[in-house]
C-alpha cells in the first residue's frame, strides 16, 4: 500500500521512445531509451533517497507492459525528483 508521503516512479516517465501522451514525464534531452528499474534504483541510491521496488506492476497507460514501479519518499517535488533521477540515469 502506498503512503501519502511517497511518489510513484514508472520507467515510462524516463523513456525516450515514448511520447508525452504515452507517459514520458521528462524532457527528451534527459530521457533514456528503455530505462530499467535497476537504472532508476542506481540513480536513487546515488541521490540517497529511500525507495521501495514493486517489480511486476503494470503502468496504467500500457497494462500489457509489466515493467514495475518504484515508490520514493517525497523529499522534493515530483518534477524535481524526476529531473534529477533522469539526469543520473
State the CATH class of domain 6-88.
Answer: alpha beta
Separation CA 21–CA 8 (nearest Å)? 18
The pLDDT, as a whole number, for residue 20 is: 93
The pLDDT, as a whole number, for residue 29 is: 94
The pLDDT, as a whole number, for residue 27 is: 94
The pLDDT, as a whole number, for residue 65 is: 85
Neighbour-count burial for 28-67, b at 16+ CB within 10 Å, e otherwise: eebbbeebebebbeebbeeeebebeeeeebebeeeeeeeb
The pLDDT, as a whole number, for residue 61 is: 87
Domain boundaries, the chain: 6-88
pLDDT in tens, the chain (89 residues): 567 789 999 999 999 999 999 999 999 999 999 999 999 999 999 999 999 999 999 988 888 989 999 999 988 899 999 999 999 99
Amino acid at each position: 500500500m502506498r503512503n501519502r508521503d511517497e511518489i510513484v516512479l514508472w520507467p515510462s516517465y524516463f523513456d525516450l521512445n515514448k511520447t508525452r501522451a504515452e507517459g514520458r514525464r521528462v524532457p527528451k534531452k534527459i530521457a533514456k531509451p528503455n530505462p530499467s528499474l535497476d537504472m532508476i534504483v542506481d540513480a536513487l541510491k546515488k541521490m540517497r533517497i529511500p525507495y521501495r521496488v514493486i517489480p511486476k506492476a503494470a503502468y496504467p497507460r500500457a497494462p500489457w507492459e509489466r515493467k514495475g514501479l518504484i515508490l520514493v519518499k517525497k523529499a522534493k517535488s515530483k518534477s524535481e525528483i524526476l529531473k534529477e533521477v533522469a539526469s543520473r540515469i
